[in-house]
Chain A
Amino acid sequence: MADNERMFQVKIITPDRIFYTGEAEMVEFNTTSGAIGVYKNHIPITTVLAPGAVIIHESSGEKVAAVHAGFAEILSDKVTFLAEIAEWPEEIDVSRAEEAKKRAEDRLAAKTADVDIARAEFALRKALTRIDVKGM
């Protein structure tokens, strides 16, 4: 059992539900400026999320979730994720993610004028995140 002093509150909220709420010792996640890990008493920061895995280190073990697009608000005793999409590994359909990955890659490779590059890249990143998280 980890020391209670080091625990802080973590919340992941999506538009449709409260995805996760609990106590953790540390969370790791990707931001647009790189991957970071947050302990208790972090300085207050609001940061934009990049698609990736969020790893929550609870006292009883680790929890992994895929989070795409959103931002995180970090306070000294609380971290709130506002994510547009969040998924547990067991909710991810890998074959669908593989298909999406392939589609996105094809679209990027084709590079025709009507391809929305930013969108395809985002779709590719999303698919990769899903596959990664599932494999963890």
Chain B
Amino acid sequence: MASMRDIKRRKGSIQSTQQITKAMKLVSTVKLQKARNRAESTNPYFNAMYQTVSSMLKRSGTIMHPYLKANESRKKAVVVITSNRGLAGGYNSNVVKLVTESGFAKEDVQIYAIGHKGKESLERHGYEIKSDDSDVIEAPTYTDAAEICGRVLKAYQEGEIGEIYLAYTHFKNTVSHVPTLMKLLPVELDEESEETGKSNVLMTYEPNDEEALDVIVPKYITSLFYGALVEAVASENGARMQAMDSATSNAEDMISDLSLKYNRARQGSITQELTEIIAGASAIS
């Protein structure tokens, strides 16, 4: 049996770890609230954008536009949004796993990394890191999203890449975050999710169809980018909150287990001492 002093020292170290995890949990709870409000306030913009773009693309059969058909390049750009800091449970590794298990050939993939953790671990897996904008994730703004988006779209237009994907963590609610790999370009829309009511309206586009597409599609992609960034921040803090919560309760369990052991050892040593005293006394008499 471990000595009383060893147990006491171990208990103390677990207690101080618990204090840290508790504090981290509180911090990420507050950050989560903020991030969630932001994520929710971007929703109306994104939904309106999605409706416009999908109703637009529904009649796009007649429009020939580079955004709507794949170009020759086999290269795929994947924008990977992770966090800059760890201790968030499986948050980062889940996103990385999305990319490594996506079935894309390693040499065809170019990574546009946002977030140190994802960048480092994909680098270790041997992926080509095209750019690194990790600072953005600290406080994502629409301007940042537009800037990165512009760069990726430029590479697409120049034929350097043929497809654009986005890997991020979708913030469903506080406890549920879903790692998502989404195809951005060429634009594909899932048929079922479109409502039929709006599509009957025959929309006119100004100045003309192509130019309107030229302007609206990049804005659509940017809004997806921005939405993904904001949601990723919310998910990160949600994941960290959960991880820290379970770490705190694990520490609680360990401490109560150790207290039991400590008390038992203390009782054992007292009993032993008494036995020794009594044995000594009876030896004298």
Please provide the chain B residues from 22 to 51 with a CB less than 8 Å away from any CB of chain A in the complex: 38, 41-42, 44-45, 48-49
Least Cβ–Cβ distance between B285 and chain A, in angstroms? 89
Least Cβ–Cβ distance between B120 and chain A, in angstroms? 29
CB distance A15 to B142 under 8 Å?
yes
Least Cβ–Cβ distance between A117 and chain B, in angstroms? 16
Total interface residues in chain B, CB < 8 Å: 25
CB distance A45 to B142 under 8 Å?
no
| Cα(A33)–Cα(B45), bound, Å | 24
Least Cβ–Cβ distance between A51 and chain B, in angstroms? 13
Least Cβ–Cβ distance between A123 and chain B, in angstroms? 13
B202 at the A interface (CB under 8 A): yes
CB distance B146 to A84 under 8 Å?
yes
A59 at the B interface (CB under 8 A): no
Task: Return the CB mask of A69-106 against B: 1 if under 8 Å, else 0.
Answer: 01101010000101010000000000000000000000
**Surface stretch bound by A, among B8-16, B211-219, B248-256, B262-270:** B211-219
Task: Return the CB mask of B208-231 against A: 1 if under 8 Å, else 0.
Answer: 000110011001000100100000
Residue from B38, B52, B146, B207 within 8 A of A73 (CB atoms): B52
Residues in chain B near residue A47, CB distance under 8 A? 205-207, 212
Cβ-closest chain B residue relative to A18 = B44
Residues in chain B near residue A43, CB distance under 8 A? 204
CB distance A82 to B45 under 8 Å?
yes
Cβ-closest chain B residue relative to A80 = B48
CB distance B219 to A70 under 8 Å?
yes
Least Cβ–Cβ distance between A2 and chain B, in angstroms? 26
| Cα(A45)–Cα(B208), bound, Å | 11
**A16-B142 contact given A44-B204, A45-B204, CB 8 Å threshold:** yes
CB distance B48 to A45 under 8 Å?
no
Ordered by A's residue number, 19 sampled pairs between the chains whose C-beta atoms are within 8 Å are A15-B42, A16-B42, A17-B41, A18-B41, A31-B206, A32-B211, A44-B202, A45-B204, A45-B205, A46-B56, A46-B205, A46-B216, A47-B206, A48-B211, A71-B212, A71-B219, A82-B219, A84-B142, A84-B219
**Given pairs A16-B41, A47-B206, A71-B219, 16 additional interface contacts (CB within 8 A):** A16-B142, A18-B41, A18-B44, A33-B207, A44-B202, A44-B204, A45-B206, A46-B56, A46-B212, A47-B205, A47-B207, A70-B219, A71-B215, A73-B203, A80-B52, A82-B219
